[in-house]
Structure 1
């Protein structure tokens, strides 16, 4: 059968070639309603399969398109699961600071994004209770000094049976009670940033410093000078970005495939060409309302460019498998359907060499490097097919141009 000539390429459909497929398709018994289709790692397209099409090219067009033929190969490919998530910090690296006794913010110079060091003064608070607390400590400490001497004296008198047992017991009780009070007041002073061992009667202050407990960056500032803060109010939030992690969202149906130790490859939306890696550390055990769980991944290399809250797109490597593949350039996509071109023969026509190609719809799977996993239709013999591995888009262009000109007639 001769195909109609359409400008630079020959395009047509072989009704005789399609008829056996149609007859066979009509005779195939339908699957029972209760039997689900078998699962396949390759993405399935539930839409009706597109029609195949043929294109004929001359020897000159063949050479100009740079067409090269090849066949299916088998390669070990990583099976990956696409997920989304965000950059986050572990709880021990995220600190919310408050003032245990409250007070007025007397001084602070913090701004969001500032770098702070552990032990750095972040703010100074003023509260009359600070004075009372220091006063109680110094008075109790002075009383403890007296009771320590009295305790030693009563113990010696008791050993000599000069003092009564009751008096020695009373002195011991007063001494221990005061010792406990001094230690408790010292701990209260530590809560507001005052070191009890440095406190003397001449150094009582109405102000107390608020120190940073970690190195990191200020992520939130909730106060300003003159603000009264209660003990439950959060003044600042600090994040230590030296140990960020990837917090991924994985849907319930995929959780059984996730294991600690699997590799994670992720990119940021504005850095598609820069890929970072992490490793699955923990898999969440709680399912949220959206039927997903959290997967925690540790970064393989710390990156100062990452910030908490950044959105990321990731792929979790599920393992490897030997699958049929083709070079990326062999697969063309149009109208959301992937195709390959297969050579169906060549012949002499009008003194010229003519090559016949058929466009075949396929299903694609994972891609890695320059190769993509493919699944050919069952009617094709993958071992003998001559597939266009280079120049496929040139053939597609010739076909589409021929269709447009054909419609114009």
Structure 2
């Protein structure tokens, strides 16, 4: 392998070795010495060696070499970027190895490793908010090891313990809690639209018998009405003719096949008989399909004397809620003559006001109570309308109820109450402790003599406690009542979001 191709590989290996050494140095506890052959370690104080770099970051200088540390967060989560300089001139990112240890109040240290990216070194982790921390920076360039330290404070205020009581600040602890959301909304019982079927004859004819009547309970397959249909008679006749033709062509085919095999007749006669038999099979299947499409079994018409008779049957089990048929009436094939509803389940149309839309959700359990008498059941929200009514200015939530006992009747007015479900959450804080800081929802965590903001990702709430999804852990202390006083103290100190 020639030198030109070997050189990049050697550079990558060398950078990896150097970075490993820096990580070992930053992982060493205080007071432990570190020796590196042919290197000179220099640790500089933040006050004497930090200024602002060309890209607006913190510039750490050691003689002719310097690094600029920035936190980039435009369109991406906050991340460290390091630019390298020698005598003020930008160096390639591969010319030095850098590692940073970040420590913040109440959290374990983070070790940031860096890899070359464009003209800078990119950190391998997100720099979480707030950007209030202590940094230990190590860089290796041309065999020389340099170290700096830097502190950055944001959203922090010092309050001694003896001042807490006078300020009315109560210390609370983040811990598991039971969230109990409650909401009461009006509604009305309606049919389950998924279980309503409209019955049509599918063939024209004259009604001869009516069995189904309004309000009647029927089972699937029950005969609702009988009509006489010339169209059905014609289809049954076509099936009968096709069946007889199939029998005849099959016999002819078998005979011609035998004669051809005995070399008595020509092959052409055998092939013609085979073609006619196949056509007869197709014709019979077509005639049978037309009858099945009407819900009629092909052989059923020949078991009764009147082949024009057509039975209209219930498609599902349920109650007949609409009837539009009478004996002697002439029906078209698309006439809606019955409507059957399965009421084993019903819906409750719940009125949801705009202010409550962020509380109710699909899958949430709901207690439904009748307003007229003592009937109560539990259901689940299966749908929430996406549009607000133009006149009512409300949305509709659908709650499905089991009605196997028949106690719910469409048209009943009800009250739907979100079940006071005990939702156990691993970490929760008091709603009254939540403040706003830099457009974040925060609490003020307590660390020794200091309070510092902690941005939170919040979950469910019942108005007293709120679930913490991210940003705070079990056992951490925070400011409860009168926490706004700490926000006022930050304003006095003119805290800035300094990156």
Match of 2:398 among 296, 316, 319: 296
Contact 2:187/2:415, CA 8 A, preserved across alignment: yes
Unaligned runs of 5+ in 2: 1-177, 424-428, 432-461, 464-480, 482-499
Q: Deviations over 1:212-254 (max 9, x none)?
A: 1221111111111111111111011111111223333435554
- 2:350 matched to 1:248? yes
Structure whose CA Rg is larger:
2
**Counterpart in 1 of 2:315?**
213
* Change in 2 beyond 3 A, CA 1:80/1:180: same
**Counterpart in 2 of 1:280?**
381
- 2:203 matched to 1:101? yes
CA distance in 2, matches of 1:221, 1:213: 15
Q: Deviations over 1:117-165 (max 9, x none)?
A: 2221110101222222222111111111111222333444555665555
Q: Secondary structure in 2 aligned to 1:244? A: strand
Q: Deviations over 1:76-106 (max 9, x none)?
A: 6532151424332242x21111111121111
Q: Deviations over 1:183-216 (max 9, x none)?
A: 2322333455543224439734222111112211
* Change in 2 beyond 3 A, CA 1:78/1:187: same
- 2:235 matched to 1:133? yes
Contact 2:346/2:403, CA 8 A, preserved across alignment: no
1:284 is displaced (CA, Å) by 4.1
**Counterpart in 2 of 1:184?**
286
- 2:273 matched to 1:144? no
Unaligned runs of 5+ in 1: 1-74, 325-364, 367-380, 382-409
**Counterpart in 2 of 1:223?**
325
CA distance in 2, matches of 1:113, 1:87: 16
- 2:192 matched to 1:89? yes
Q: Deviations over 1:363-386 (max 9, x none)?
A: xx99xxxxxxxxxxxxxx9xxxxx
Aligned Cα RMSD in Å? 3.6
Q: Structure 1-normalised TM-score? A: 0.53
Match of 1:79 among 182, 193, 199: 182
Alignment of 1:387-402 (within 5 A): none
- 2:252 matched to 1:153? no
* Residue-pair matches, total: 253
Contact 1:278/1:298, CA 8 A, preserved across alignment: yes
Q: Secondary structure in 2 aligned to 1:297? A: strand
